[in-house]
Amino acid sequence: MRSIQVSDIEAASSQSAWSGRILTTIEGEIIPRLMLAHRVGWGEPHLNCVEGTGVDAVDVDEFARLLLARDASVAFAYVDMARARGVGLEALLLELMAPAATRLWDFWNDDRCDFAEVTIGMSRLQHLLRELGPAFYSQSADCGDGRRILLASAPGERHSFGIFLTEAFFRRGGWDASVELDANTADLVGIVKREWFSMVGLSLSSARGIDDLAATIKAIRLESRNKSIAVIVGGQIFMEHPELVATVGADVGATDARSAVSQAERMLGLLAMRC
């Protein structure tokens, strides 16, 4: 059986290329500029999760649908009700909000909502992440020596929700995390050349950017102020094809924001052992 080639993945992804460009525009250019109004008229949405547990696929689908509702407060109330019933912040972020972002994509691909509705839904997710952030960060430990990471979308990618979600988990883990949006290879190389980072985290959603990402990682390693800098990658393409982690020259891949932190901690330990 022949091995999977990047060209194979690109071919399989070609039919969704146009959709990917649209979603990139939504998340990278439109959402960061949107601000929601104050919450009013809180509703009483149905909540499937039971007290003290996480959420399931039914909850995710319901929450994604509420993100598209005319009244934004209904989706916000859904999150507050989940917290009141004992669902932890980590579960809300990883098991509800992150997959809800994917469900919005699915709704759009299935013609269940239009461009404007997806934009509104994603902006509401961004708003919720900002609101939940302070409570999530309050659980953090003090930053330890060497725990400094630069997080960015791969050049050409402009998704922002996943990057900020990952930042929240690193900050909660005691890391000094910096985020760069819309940075090209030269931008990222310039940053790691000026500032010391123990690690760089890069996110990529599709195979179209594999070659560019590999070139970026190579340049980062060559020019970094920290000559032992580690590189972690994440995003849908690496979840579907983990073998591409090695293809782009990264040290490790992460399946979600929580695993990114654990993988980063493991890499720090390995680097310390080499010294």
**Do 31 and 130 reside in the same domain of the chain?**
yes
Where residue 171 sits, what CATH number does that domain have? 3.40.50.280
Which pLDDT score, from 0 to 100, does residue 108 have? 83
**Do 155 and 249 reside in the same domain of the chain?**
yes
Distances (CA, A) of 91 to 55, 69, 136, 151, 182: 7, 23, 11, 22, 29
Beta strands in the chain (DSSP E): 148-153, 176-180, 199-203, 230-234, 252-254
Checking if the pLDDT of 35 tops 50, the result is no
Residue 146 vs residue 12, higher pLDDT: 146
> pLDDT of 170-213, one tens digit each?
999 999 999 998 899 999 999 999 999 999 999 998 898 999 99
Amino acid at 260: A
| Token digits of residue 78 | 């859904």
Checking if the pLDDT of 31 tops 50, the result is no
> pLDDT of 119-135, one tens digit each?
899 899 999 999 998 88
**Do 116 and 179 reside in the same domain of the chain?**
no
| Token digits of residue 151 | 């997080």
**Do 124 and 155 reside in the same domain of the chain?**
no
Residue 144 vs residue 260, higher pLDDT: 260
The C-alpha angle 202, 232, 269, rounded to 5 degrees, equals 150
Which pLDDT score, from 0 to 100, does residue 36 have? 31
> Quick one: pLDDT band at residue 37, thresholds 50, 70, 90?
very low
> Quick one: pLDDT band at residue 141, thresholds 50, 70, 90?
low
Which pLDDT score, from 0 to 100, does residue 53 have? 58
In a domain, 183, yes or no: yes
| CB-based contact 238:246 (threshold 8 Å) | no
> Quick one: pLDDT band at residue 55, thresholds 50, 70, 90?
confident
Q: Return the CA Rg of the chain.
A: 19
* Number of domain units in the chain: 2
**Do 113 and 168 reside in the same domain of the chain?**
no
Checking if the pLDDT of 217 tops 70, the result is yes
In a domain, 7, yes or no: no
Checking if the pLDDT of 48 tops 80, the result is no
In a domain, 38, yes or no: yes
Long-range contacts of 269-275 (CB under 8 A, 24+ apart): 271/198, 271/228, 271/230, 272/146, 274/228
| CB-based contact 221:252 (threshold 8 Å) | no
Which pLDDT score, from 0 to 100, does residue 33 have? 40
**Do 126 and 96 reside in the same domain of the chain?**
yes
Which residues constitute the domain of residue 47?
16-137
> Which residue is it, tokens 């010294």?
275
Q: Determine the Cα–Cα distance for residues 72 and 49; give it in Å rounded to an integer.
A: 20
**Do 93 and 197 reside in the same domain of the chain?**
no
Which pLDDT score, from 0 to 100, does residue 41 have? 32
Checking if the pLDDT of 7 tops 60, the result is no
Which pLDDT score, from 0 to 100, does residue 113 have? 84
In a domain, 8, yes or no: no
**Do 159 and 247 reside in the same domain of the chain?**
yes
* Boundary-marking domain end, from 87, 105, 137: 137
* Boundary-marking domain end, from 71, 105, 137: 137
| CB-based contact 178:150 (threshold 8 Å) | yes
> Quick one: pLDDT band at residue 20, thresholds 50, 70, 90?
low
Residue 268 vs residue 5, higher pLDDT: 268
| Best CA proximity match to 256, nearest among 134, 107, 95 | 95
| CB-based contact 39:76 (threshold 8 Å) | yes
**Do 36 and 58 reside in the same domain of the chain?**
yes
Which pLDDT score, from 0 to 100, does residue 111 have? 83
Against a cut of 0.85, is the pTM above it?
A: no
> pLDDT of 73-130, one tens digit each?
999 999 999 998 889 999 999 999 999 988 987 898 888 888 788 889 989 999 999 9
Q: Determine the Cα–Cα distance for residues 75 and 110; give it in Å rounded to an integer.
A: 21
| Token digits of residue 156 | 């050409």
